[in-house]
Amino acid sequence: MDKLGGTTKPNHDVEKGTQPKKSKRRHLLNHVFDILAIAATCLVFALIYLLIKPVQKGFFCDDTSIRYPNKPDTIPMWLLGVYGGVGPVIIFCIVEIWVVRPFHCGRGPSKNSLKQRQVDYLKTIFQSIFLFILGIAICFLITEVGKRTIGRLRPYYLSICNPVWSNIQCTQTISTASGSLNIPLYITDHNCNSTATATQLQEARLSFPSGHSSYSTYAFVFLFVYFEARLVCPNIQFLKPFLQCICIAIAFFTCLSRITDFKHHPTDVIGGAILGFSIAVFTAVRIGTYLWSFSVYCETEDETEKDRLPKEERVPVPGIETKQSGALRSNDNIELESFHHKHRLPATRSLYDNQLHNENGYTMRPHHRTILHPIPAGARRIAPERTSDNSTA
């Protein structure tokens, strides 16, 4: 096996299974800082949740938007935690197994990359989980700050509160030049006549933004970006778009369920979805830059012969290209990769051999590593004109 990184220089200590002490110390400090960041965010969230009470907002007696019945949740919070929290972690483990599997890259015999693959697998898994949990903590924190600050009444507030209407003056009569006029009053001081607990009554004041919407949108948009960055499926063209569509569908269904259950107003759901989307994109793209850069593991000649497909029939991996020196490049160089995709040319056969080149003009075969320029579609190669032997200078 052979592990080939894009632009990283070979490190003999890493190849021997040991790392320099400075590198180990740096990685350890990075993990400590990650844990401290998550712990600090969770601590701030817990303090806000336990100590800060929501703003006591009132209502108008004729407000029909808060008169809906109190229905049970279609998606309770524990279920959302299972498929929106545990589910992505399991998917990370499965996808990273696929990422570290060896591809045929046309390299010769190699040594001890199995241990390096295991190390990279565990490192990437822990990094992905830490990054995902950090985004969850940020999402919960910002959502809870919005809930406590706004204090918007949920659509079922009057049903669970059941105010004592006999003690409430809903309108005020004033005299005008054209006669008396009833003006609705904003009710802020009222007593609830129900068996609901104080926690349930407080929860009825936390409508904006929707916690289910923000968290589900964050989790599955993060998973959407994760699939885009990590999942390489050259033989299954529509697998990645299919999985990404499922992510969007699950998040969308979760958001809609909060409206049909009368737990949130439509604007609460929209606000939560925007919040979750923003945090997911920022976390996965801006903070999780490592997701977009990974090494490529190549099969040896012996392993290629054991494969069911011949070498010449294997599909090249997108984002992996050979250089003139014979080394391989992974998708570390994002700008160069996007350039090749924009200037993609069709696959052609060389005039000098029967070797099939991939779309960007590079070859993956082990003994032909030079860059050959393919012939564009619709063009033909013109042989140079020969001068006559009788021609003079």
In tens, the pLDDT along 113-153 reads 677 778 888 888 988 999 999 999 999 999 999 999 999 99
pTM, two decimal places: 0.70
Q: How deeply is 364 buried, as exposed, middle or buried, from its count of CB atoms within 10 A (0-12, 13-18, 19+)?
A: buried
Q: Percent of the chain at pLDDT above 70?
A: 66
Q: By C-alpha distance, which of 257, 332, 267 is closest to 293? A: 332
Q: What is the pLDDT of residues 149-198, one digit of tens each?
A: 999 999 999 999 999 888 898 998 888 878 788 889 999 888 888 888 99
Per-residue burial over 103-122, b = 16 or more CB atoms within 10 Å of its CB, e = otherwise = bbbbbeebeebeebbeebee
Given the residues 104, 190, 212, 373, select the one marked as catalytic: 212
Q: Would you say 104 and 196 are in contact if contact means Cβ atoms under 8 Å apart? A: no
Cα torsion for 120, 123, 125, 127, to the nearest 10°?
A: -130
- State the pLDDT at residue 371: 40
- Range of 92-106, 236-250, 322-336 with top mean pLDDT: 236-250
DSSP element (H, E) containing 187 = strand 186-187
Tell me if residue 340 is catalytic: no
Annotated active-site residue 264? The verdict is yes
Q: What is the DSSP letter of 356?
A: B
- Scanning the structure block, which residue is given the tokens 């959407």? 224
| Mean per-residue pLDDT, 346-356 | 42
Catalytic residue among 27, 104, 190, 264: 264
